Amino acid sequence: MSIQVQSERVNPLTPEQVKQYQIDGYIIIKKGCSIDLIDAFNSHIHSIRSSDSMPEWAKPKKGGAVVDDKDRFSLRLFNPHLHDGFSLQMMKLPVVRGALAQVLGDEAAGVQSMYFYKEPGSPGQAAHQDYYYIKNDPNTLTAAWVAMEYTNEENGCLYVIPGSQKLGVLPHGDVKNLQEHEAWTHEVEDIDLSKEIPVILDKGDILIFDSNLIHSSTRNRSNRWRRSYVCHYIRHDSTIEREDLKKKIPLV
């Protein structure tokens, strides 16, 4: 008995959506991931972080050092796709594979994954460009941000400046508002942040965006979590500079 693998690529974006992505630097795939799958993945990640025998790769860390148990459900889970089959398959969602191929013009490969908790009260990240942190050549870096629950201004949604990817790579400096943003990140300089708009996502929506798109998030001012699964991809023929992200994951 042979097992058939679905490898035919889907094309979830219309030509108009691809054109809009090129203009704005981002696109939202509504209901790109089923609620059942989201609930199963959230429960799976919770079981990993709540286990008394949590594997080393899953332990909450800051600067590479393991921290207290109180951070089990606050610090992000970094690169779970390298260790966990469910996380790997979430990186390979067919709808994401198809959308990336449409906007990049060829097949993409996964290079990084992060499961964010963003508990109530936690700060956001200052306005930045992903390319600043993940340099690649040629630059095809693209993010897929899967909303693990309803995300709006109250629980710290993303804000973007539409079209800002056309500005190229901008200088980044120290974070200015430490009441709103994490201190360990950096902030893009010499840009009018009043042009940022909130990206409201329903549970299961997928946000695809360019690595040069200026984006940020705010403090979670609600009593709700803002969990998300964020993966970064490059076109299969691009190369990553960072040693820890050089492994490419085919999406087929």
**Taking all residues of the chain, what is their mean pLDDT, rounded to a whole number?**
95
Residue 86 lies in a domain: yes
Q: What is the CATH number for 134?
A: 2.60.120.620
Closest listed residue to residue 76, CA positions, set 99, 48, 111, 102 = 48
pLDDT band at 6 (very low <50, low <70, confident <90, very high): low
| E strand map for the chain | 26-29, 61-62, 65-66, 77-78, 108-116, 136-137, 142-147, 158-160, 172-174, 186-188, 197-199, 206-210, 215-217, 228-235, 239-240, 249-250
> What tens digit of pLDDT does each residue of 131-167 get?
999 999 999 999 999 999 999 999 999 999 999 999 9
Which two structure tokens, joined as six digits, stand for 90? 């979430």
Q: How many domains does the chain have?
A: 1
Is residue 10 situated within a structural domain? no
Q: Does some domain include residue 186?
A: yes
Q: Work out the average pLDDT over 88-110.
A: 98
Read off the DSSP letter of residue 39.
Answer: H
Q: Which pLDDT tens digit goes with each residue over 11-47?
A: 999 999 999 999 999 999 999 999 999 999 999 999 9
Q: What is the mean pLDDT of residues 213-238?
A: 97
Which domain, by its residues, includes 59? 15-250
User: Would residue 9 count as lying in a domain?
Assistant: no
**CA angle (4, 206, 156) in 5-degree steps:** 145
Band of the pLDDT at 1, cuts 50, 70, 90? very low
Q: Which one-letter amino acid corresponds to residue 241?
A: E
Given a cut of 90, whether residue 63 has pLDDT beyond it is no
Contact 63, 70 (CB under 8 A): no
**pLDDT > 70 in the chain, percent:** 97
pLDDT(48) > 90: yes
Is residue 2 domain-resident?
Answer: no
In the block, tokens 């695809």 appear at: 208
In a domain, 241, yes or no: yes
Tokens representing 99 are 């959308």
Q: Does 140 fall in a domain?
A: yes
Say yes or no to pLDDT of 213 above 50: yes
Q: Is the residue at 7 inside a domain?
A: no
Give residue 4's pLDDT: 47
Q: Is the pLDDT of residue 2 over 70?
A: no
> How far does Cα 229 stand from its chain's mean position?
6
Task: State the pLDDT at residue 65.
Answer: 82
Res. 66: pLDDT tops 90: no
Mean pLDDT of 111-132: 97
- Whole-angstrom distance, CA of residue 127 vs CA of residue 101: 27
